[in-house]
Amino acid sequence: MSGVGLLLRARVREVAGMTPANATANPTAPRRVRGLVAPPTEREARPHTKAPPKRARGPRTAGLVATIHELPTATVLAVAVALLCVIGLVMVGSASSVVSISLYGSPWAILLRECMWMAVGVIAFGAAVRVDYRKLRRFSPLLLLVTFALLLVVLVPGLGVRAQGSSRWVGFGQFRLQPSELMKLALAVFAADLIARRLDEGATDRRILGPLLLVTAGAGVLIVAQPDLGTAMVMACIALSLLFVSGVRLGPLFKILTFLAGVGVVVAVASPYRRERLLSFFDPAAHGSGSGYQVVQSLIGLGSGHLVGAGLGGGQQQWGFLPNAQTDFIFSVIGEELGFIGAALVLVLLGVFVWFGIRAATRSPDRFGGLLAVGLVAWLASETVINIGAVVGVLPVTGIPLPFISYGGSSLVITLIAAGILINIARQERGAGPPGLIEVPRGGRARPMTRTPSAHRRGR
């Protein structure tokens, strides 16, 4: 396990209240500790060695670190979202002008629709920022049931809207909702509420794993039936991230990962078009005129951008060489028209959003907020990795949009709602303490990450 993963797991559990204050008060409690710090008895038994002196930071480095640490989390997140949305509008307009003319007779048609959905998303974003995130807990079961019902409606012939061989939407005209996008939000809220309540009760791992995996698997089956394997992968990332930081045993998690990987391979091989995509992933050039065409053209676009790019509207991919240029492969258009600098700027902004989202989770005033923030960050981070991985050819193409950037309707609105909830959590953060992911009390000892002794006795 990586050090960053351990630090994040320990910090979220400690700061969000996952470690009871009296966790180590019972001297007869089991010595099995699941955290970064050993029990007091084990620490005292170890020989004390003098740590090597740390190299002092220079004044510039120390000043930069202090400045970054003092930046308000909510403000940084809001600025990152605003910049990403502006870049998304500009790049959707540039990437879709030729396609828009061929489909609608105007170079601005797709951009105007994106502006319409962006306006709806901004309104929803503002509401999510202002409404206390704790109120979501009471609506969690209802939101989950409604989303499951919509996922079933999508599969009913005549009710679900089909496009490009998939049935993923409900609605009419331009007012269509993609239930699988709503399920990401519903799953994050449900999982955070479930884990927070079960940890308050001192429940065993089985009582946490069972309901969450059942809901995730049920939603995943309905989404894969659309078919939409990429969204099912994102949902798995949300669930596994929340289970990881909640403190459940890692053995079952590894078994779950192995099982999911096997199911994914079987699903990919069983479907002809997914099998073609998988084969083209291993050798895009050999399938350059078929299933690997998008990846080959995407790499050509990225490579032709060089340092500063060809300028807005100066790329060649928008002329029909790259299908779905304004949606799944918009990062390739960014690399071609804005060059390495523009692509790096987008990656930095997305990285800043993820980093400060994690900081919002570690500083959350309650357990539910910390878990919900982790779920939202895992959602948007996994979408970023899957999308850009497909664009550069290191992951199979799954049709996942780039958050805040790709053209979309309900996906853009729901992503902005998720960002608004995350900022709402950040606005209520408590004192951060010293820099870093682990907060050490003045006594010099970090508290061990344990559950209550009763939880160990009940079948751990």
- Per domain, the residue ranges of the chain are 72-433
pLDDT higher than threshold 60 for residue 248: yes
Which of 59-68, 296-305, 353-362 has the weakest average pLDDT? 59-68
Give the pLDDT confidence of 18-68 residue by residue, as tens digits.
444 444 444 443 333 333 333 334 434 444 455 555 555 555 656 665 676
Which of 131-145, 259-273, 351-365 has the weakest average pLDDT? 259-273
pLDDT for 279 equals: 66
Q: Contact 165/228 with Cβ under 8 angstroms? A: no
Report the range out of 65-69, 118-122, 159-163, 222-226 with the highest average pLDDT: 118-122
| Between residues 275 and 81, the one the model is more confident about | 81
Mean pLDDT value across residues 442-451: 35
Mean pLDDT value across residues 312-328: 83
Dihedral sign for Cα atoms in the order 22, 27, 29, 33: positive
Give the pLDDT confidence of 127-150 residue by residue, as tens digits.
999 999 999 999 999 999 999 999
pLDDT higher than threshold 90 for residue 189: yes
249 confidence band (pLDDT: 50, 70, 90): confident
Give the pLDDT confidence of 366-423 residue by residue, as tens digits.
999 999 999 999 999 999 999 999 899 888 888 899 999 999 888 999 999 999 999 9
Strands (E), 142-211: 161-163, 166-172, 175-177
CB atoms within 10 A of CB 24: 17
Q: What is residue 229's three-state secondary structure?
A: helix
CB atoms within 10 A of CB 391: 26
Q: What is residue 161's three-state secondary structure?
A: strand
Measure Cα distances from 444 to 348, 438, 439, 440, 441 in Å. Answer: 35, 12, 10, 6, 6
β-pair type (175-177, 161-163): unpaired
